[in-house]
Structure 1
Amino acid sequence: METLKFKTNIKCGGCVATVTPHLNAMTGLEKWSVNTEVADKVLTVTGDAENLQQEIKETLKNAGFQGELI
């Protein structure tokens, strides 16, 4: 199991609602959360996908957001 953190542009509850179905559809992703209270809007993910980092970046992009590993 791997836990990664990403700086994102997910700013509010509406943004979280938009990205939720995309992240929930990922295989190998155990759990995720977004802290919109901090400046970096940190997305924390835990999963066991082989290319978890790249898959998260692509999923965020498909949902209209950006993510950078921190």
Structure 2
Amino acid sequence: MNTLKFKTNINCSGCLSKVTPFLNEEKDIQKWEVNLESENRVLTVETSNLNAEEVKKTVQKAGFNAEVI
């Protein structure tokens, strides 16, 4: 299991509700969360098969940016 972390522009619960369906439908993501309290709005993803670029593309489909940290 790999844990990947990203700096995002997911700023609020409304943004979180927009990105949730995209991350939930990705079958290779076992668990994910966004720390809205963090200055960088850190998205943490646990996956066994996806690489950082694939997760980044999933977040971009929802209209948000993700930068590996």
TM class by smaller structure: over 0.9
**Equivalences, count:** 69
Q: Which runs of 4+ in 1 moved over 3 A?
A: none
**Structure 1: any 5+ residue segments left out of the alignment?**
none
Q: Percent identity?
A: 49
Task: State the Cα deviation string for residues 15-48 of structure 1 (Å, max 9, x = none).
Answer: 0100000000112110000001111000000011
- Structure 2 match to 1:45: 45
Unaligned 5+ runs, structure 2: none
CA distance in 2 between partners of 1:54 and 1:64 (Å): 15
**What corresponds to 1:60 in structure 2?**
59
Q: CA RMSD in A?
A: 0.8
* 1:9 matches 2:9: yes
1:52 Cα offset (Å): 2.4
